[in-house]
Amino acid sequence: MENDAATLYCPNELCQAANPLTHKFCQRCSTPLPKRYLWAVGDVLNVGSPGEILADRYLVINESVVLDTKPGLLPQGLEAENLQTIRAYLRLIPYSLHIPQVYGMLSLQDGLSRKEILLLEKPPLLVEPTTDTQLRLCPQLTTAWRTATSMRQLNWLWQLAHLWQPLVSEGVASSLIDSHLLRVEGSLVRLLELRFDTSTAPQLSHLGDFWQQLLPDTKPVIAEFVNQVSNFLIQGDINSPEVLIAVLDRGLAELGKLQSPTIKIITKTDTGPKRQRNEDACYPPSGTLLSKPPQATALAIVCDGIGGHEGGNVASNLAIETIQQQVQQLTKVPYDHLEPSLLLADLEQAAAVANDKISQRNDNENRQGRKRMGTTLVMALPVAHEIYITHVGDSRAYWITRDSCYQVTLDDDVASREVRLGYAIYREAVQQSGSGSLVQALGMSPSAALHPTAQRFILDEDAVFLLTSDGLSDFDRVEEYWETEILPILTEETDLVTVADKLLEIANTKNGHDNVTIALVHYQVKYVEPELTLKATIVEPPTITSANIEPKPLQPTLLEDISEQKTLIPEDKPGFFRKLPLHLIVPIMIMIAAGWLGLLVRGFLWQSQPVPTFSSSPSTTIKPATNQRSLANLAPGWVITNSQEITLGNQKLPPGSFLQVVEPEPSTTPNSQESLVDLRLCSPENSPPDQTEKIIRRVKLAQLQRPDIAVLQSNETSSCEALSPQPDS
């Protein structure tokens, strides 16, 4: 239990008054008092006795949970050289819906030595609403399984399948087969912490073994389905997460037909008390209440314009108009004919089309640097038993259930980028200058440099999705007020219009520094256990898709807030050459030009001569490529590159690696995706120190069909020799 004598200090740096733990607002300045319960991970059996105060701020609740009584202070972090120990948490921040994130460190004296305790925020904990003092862990998936509906059981397995590849890539997939770590909060699978893999990483067959343990309590309608899927995994018939997801999608689609969703959408936008004009835009138009049925499509969009009087409002309205038209075309296709991964790719493409329209208008009007106009984007498209969320920039989507409020989008800003790259803990990153500057938005540049995020979520219960510009989300206003203002929608104590008006009032009175735009999507569903038996069928995922579970690489182009106004920073910052005198620039430019000329000549000579054979494959001769380059038509000598870390064979390859085709092996079946290819690593200097194997053998072509892998174009060098030093013979 909590220490009655303990106090919770106001996070307002101008106040910092001490308050009783039972208070929700500061008794002096009325600032909301956040209660941050943290999960402690370390070598000690328990962090302390209940009621004890550690490091003059952390109140011990039980052996593994503490409460930060000074939430306004920055937690103790790690030194840069020690970040490797928590890098998996940092790099998996796009999956914070399922994985708690690092809050800070706690140093404890244990005898003669000091122990470092890792503190994780937003762990799967439940607070009893009546007392606000009794904490308990969310139930284990294996425990909650027996009372869940068939739709929810399949939904949980679907989430595990989506998490498999990201966790494998970070060496923590063991977490997904540990019943103690696997918790569920309503319809969401949530991990208590991450468990690092041993020397032998788990395989999909181990996931199948774990799922078989669930069979005794699996609902009859899906019992045979789950048994078949488990056996497919154990026997190797399902040999990739993509195939597993495709199989589960088929089962969910069959059950989803039995749900009867009702969807209501309301949008509101306001200039705010300090702005002269409204640069935000929304769809449906502000004040419109849309219902499906009778409407055929339910779509909500929020855009926050960038560029001030230079055209932020033009960009946001142009994005709304373009994307709305694109999505209307997509939703004309019957749901039974929609392939989820292709729909995700289509939604990303819709964002790209809007981006190019804005970018082209900037070019036509000769807008450069900070005068370019742009916009953020967040969009929700409910389809049957799913909802698709697409976003670019820092406008956010929140998912409110009866259990909690979850932020489901990750801001495209500098702070998030630093965490995703494993460079900093989030609460440290946001303290740095420029941490809120955007790394991408619609209209900044052609869509080749744009990486929208499209996600989908299975809905098996009533929920509210809030889309909002930062006029409301800044200063954690959603986290502060969701329970009092949005949750009553789900308990039918209020209606959408009333809540929308109240949220605008909160944004203008509690923040007030910006325009504010919101969209509320209320999803209601009824589900009755069907009297049928599902059977599993192995289906291959679509060949061409950009639905990639791994985070996409972030671009270096930045947007910066200047005097609370989002404006565009030129992609090329004033740098080294501008600081040099002219008499030094000319020789440097001549040297660079000579180097490029040498590479071009070398590439030309390489293409005109046979390439030597490799000692490991004496009969193989690499021939120069003559046909149009594509992943579907690889030929010996061609070079491919990756824009983010990938795993091929048993090797992890860092971004920017170059791989040369040694010899493709045609498939013996009509399916070209079964074709195999041997690759030579051209850039061993970029590889981990222990990576010595230069030939990666028998890679499936399907493994290369990813949006972050590309064949070098004909105007780029395709010579492996030109890309890296030759290995010793």
Same-domain check for residues 447 and 518:
yes
Neighbouring residues of 588: CB distance < 8 A, sequence distance ≥ 6 = 577, 580
Residue 564: phi, psi to the nearest 5?
65, 15
136, part of any domain: no
Per-residue pLDDT tens digits for 418-450: 999 999 999 999 999 999 999 999 999 999 999
Alpha-carbon distance of 1 to 259, in angstroms, equals 42
pLDDT surpasses 50 at 189: yes
290, part of any domain: yes
Give yes or no for a contact between 346 and 327, defined as CB atoms under 8 angstroms apart. Answer: no
- Mean pLDDT of the 276-285 span: 96
pLDDT surpasses 60 at 591: no
Closest by Cα among 3, 18, 116 to 59: 3
Per the DSSP assignment, residues forming a β-bridge with 68 are: 36, 58
355, part of any domain: yes
Q: Tell me if residue 333 falls in helix, strand or coil.
A: coil
Give yes or no for a contact between 226 and 214, defined as CB atoms under 8 angstroms apart. Answer: yes
Q: Mapped to the 3 state alphabet, what secondary structure does 169-195 carry?
A: HCCCHHHHHCCCCEEEECCEEEECCCC
Residue with the larger pLDDT of the pair 53 and 693: 53
728, part of any domain: no
pLDDT band at 662 (very low <50, low <70, confident <90, very high): confident
Look up the domain containing 236 and give its range: 141-256
Give yes or no for a contact between 675 and 665, defined as CB atoms under 8 angstroms apart. Answer: yes
Per the DSSP assignment, residues forming a β-bridge with 120 are: 39, 102
| DSSP state for residue 476 in the 8-state scheme | G
Q: 267: which 2 tokens?
A: 């949008």
| DSSP state for residue 554 in the 8-state scheme | P
Same-domain check for residues 64 and 118:
yes
CA atoms within 13 A on the CB side of 60: 15
Give yes or no for a contact between 36 and 97, defined as CB atoms under 8 angstroms apart. Answer: no
Per-residue pLDDT tens digits for 114-136: 888 999 999 999 986 544 457 89
Alpha-carbon distance of 515 to 472, in angstroms, equals 9
Instruction: Give me the CATH number covering residue 267.
Output: 3.60.40.10
Same-domain check for residues 266 and 403:
yes
Alpha-carbon distance of 360 to 367, in angstroms, equals 10
| Dihedral of alpha carbons 300, 306, 308, 314, sign | negative
Residue with the larger pLDDT of the pair 241 and 308: 241
Count of C-beta atoms within a 10 Å radius of residue 189: 22
Same-domain check for residues 377 and 438:
yes
The residue type of 94 is P
Per-residue pLDDT tens digits for 398-417: 999 999 999 999 999 999 99
Same-domain check for residues 584 and 624:
no
Q: 693: which 2 tokens?
A: 């194997």
Q: Tell me if residue 398 falls in helix, strand or coil.
A: strand
222, part of any domain: yes
What is the reported pLDDT for 3?
A: 53
Query: What are the start-end ranges of the H helices in 170-310?
Result: 204-212, 220-235, 241-256
Q: Which of 369-373, 523-527, 722-726 has the lowest mean pLDDT?
A: 722-726
Same-domain check for residues 47 and 163:
no
Same-domain check for residues 456 and 319:
yes
Give yes or no for a contact between 279 and 305, defined as CB atoms under 8 angstroms apart. Answer: yes
pLDDT band at 629 (very low <50, low <70, confident <90, very high): low
Domain boundary among the residues 229, 256, 283 is at 256
Alpha-carbon distance of 510 to 487, in angstroms, equals 20
Same-domain check for residues 482 and 588:
no
CA atoms within 13 A on the CB side of 585: 8
Same-domain check for residues 453 and 352:
yes
223, part of any domain: yes
Same-domain check for residues 590 and 669:
no
Across the chain, how many H-helices and E-strands are there? Answer: 17, 33
Same-domain check for residues 117 and 243:
no
Closest by Cα among 112, 94, 186, 196 to 149: 186
| Type and span of the H or E element at 108 | strand 101-110
Same-domain check for residues 90 and 156:
no
Which of 15-24, 408-417, 552-561, 717-726 has maximum average pLDDT? 408-417
pLDDT surpasses 50 at 545: no
533, part of any domain: no
For 42, 47, 94, 95, 661, the CA distances from 85, given in Å and listed in that order, are 12, 20, 18, 18, 35
602, part of any domain: yes
553 burial level (CB within 10 Å; 0-12, 13-18, 19+) = middle
Q: How many domains does the chain have?
A: 5
Supply the DSSP string of 486-537, one letter for each residue: IHHHHTTSS-HHHHHHHHHHHIIIII-SS-EEEEEEEEE------S------
